């Protein structure tokens, strides 16, 4: 595995493109691998000797700044945190990357991307999947971390809501499912979330291939569901393990590392229960650092897997590119 400090990575990629040094990429193998992964739309790595993990890039939402995104934190402070993380600060670059795992003879999709239904600059996953040689028909099982649009719209065709993976078993967390399908939910939700709940209620309960998992359950060979509630009522991380090796797919437990790892007390507008999300986040970060666990985040940018490391009083994410 090649680890790459985020600042070195950003600096060297910026340097390479500014100088037009495409011919010199061979001199920078890790940087070249990272840049290449984004262009290719996927990269893969092993957990143990028998599990293959493939990260698929689905693009970016260039979220305009707004005062409510991080309650109590100004746009100016948000911008300087982005800058410190080596990111563009004109907007909040919320990138999307989901995961395919090949394990025990099965091909498992973990979350399904935006389906091209969220932002004009997202919805690239089809190309990434094709480039990785994976077709929708190859997917045996879909594991869903939670029911936010950027994770489930890729399961539904845009106009008709028809299933994109009709032959796969779709496994969803029971707490998450029960929350979103409660008959009295829609009236209780803020207006901005009602459309999502309606779409969920019009689809999932009618799909015969949906089953539920609960926390701690082995949902596929080597993959265990980990309750990480807070971002949504039933948000789930997935631990992929083989022998002594593991990678923890943290989903949306941590959003952009430059913001929410660098500042563990910052809370995210999209977290349903902000205090619970913060407590859960701190516990998982502590575990990942203490045990030097490989983690992958849905919104970590691309490459989206690597190590969380202590950096003074805060934490940084260092991508692992191969």
Segment contacting Zn ion by CB under 5 A, of 104-112, 123-131, 147-155, 310-318: 147-155
The least CB distance from residue 211 to Zn ion, in Å, is: 23
Nearest residue (CB) to Zn ion, 45 versus 96 = 96
Q: How far apart are CA 100 and CA 309, in angstroms?
A: 25
| Residue 89 interacts with Zn ion (CB under 5 A): yes or no | no
| Residue 252 interacts with Zn ion (CB under 5 A): yes or no | yes
Segment contacting Zn ion by CB under 5 A, of 76-84, 168-176, 230-238, 248-256: 248-256
CB 288 within 8 A of CB 261: no
Segment contacting Zn ion by CB under 5 A, of 1-9, 53-61, 144-152, 279-287: 144-152
Segment contacting Zn ion by CB under 5 A, of 53-61, 223-231, 244-252, 256-264: 244-252
| Residue 150 interacts with Zn ion (CB under 5 A): yes or no | yes
Buried/exposed 85-94: b ≥16 CB within 10 Å, e otherwise: bbbebeebbb
Q: Give how far Cα 261 sits from Cα of 85, 267, 282, Å.
A: 10, 11, 9
Which positions ≥6 away from 193 have C-beta within 8 Å? none
CB 24 within 8 A of CB 16: yes
Residues in contact with Zn ion, counted by CB under 5 A, come to a total of 2
Nearest residue (CB) to Zn ion, 95 versus 252 = 252
Q: How far apart are CA 146 and CA 193, in angstroms?
A: 14
Q: What is the CA radius of gyration of the chain?
A: 19
| Residue 58 interacts with Zn ion (CB under 5 A): yes or no | no
Nearest residue (CB) to Zn ion, 58 versus 150 = 150
Residues that bind Zn ion (CB under 5 A): 150, 252
């Amino acid at each position: 595995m090649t680890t790459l400090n985020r600042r070195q990575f950003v600096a060297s990629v910026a340097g390479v493109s500014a100088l037009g040094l495409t011919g010199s990429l061979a001199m920078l193998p890790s940087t070249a691998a990272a840049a290449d992964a984004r262009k290719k739309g996927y990269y893969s790595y092993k957990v143990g000797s028998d599990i293959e993990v493939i990260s698929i890039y689905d693009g970016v939402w260039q979220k305009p700044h707004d005062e409510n995104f991080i309650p109590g934190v100004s746009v100016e402070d948000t911008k300087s945190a982005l800058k410190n993380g080596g990111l563009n600060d004109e907007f909040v670059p919320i990138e999307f990357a989901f995961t395919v795992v090949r394990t025990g003879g099965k091909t498992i999709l973990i979350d399904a991307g935006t389906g091209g239904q969220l932002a004009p600059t997202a919805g690239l996953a089809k190309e990434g999947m094709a480039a990785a040689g994976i077709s929708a028909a190859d997917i045996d099982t879909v594991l869903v971390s939670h029911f936010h649009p950027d994770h489930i719209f890729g399961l539904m065709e845009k106009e008709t809501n028809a299933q994109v993976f009709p032959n796969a078993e779709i496994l969803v967390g029971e707490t998450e499912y029960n929350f979103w399908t409660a008959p009295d939910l829609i009236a209780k939700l803020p207006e901005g979330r009602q459309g999502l709940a309606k779409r969920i209620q019009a689809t999932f309960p009618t799909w015969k291939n949906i089953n539920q998992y609960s926390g701690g359950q082995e949902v596929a060979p080597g993959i265990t569901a980990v309750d990480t509630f807070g971002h949504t009522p039933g948000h789930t991380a997935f631990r992929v393990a083989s022998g002594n090796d593991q990678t923890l797919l943290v989903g949306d437990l941590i959003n952009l590392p430059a913001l929410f790892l660098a500042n563990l007390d910052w809370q995210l507008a999209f977290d349903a229960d902000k205090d619970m999300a913060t407590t859960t986040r701190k516990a998982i970060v502590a575990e990942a650092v203490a045990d030097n666990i490989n983690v992958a985040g849905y919104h970590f940018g691309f490459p989206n897997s690597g190590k969380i490391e202590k950096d003074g009083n805060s934490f940084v994410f260092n991508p692992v590119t191969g």
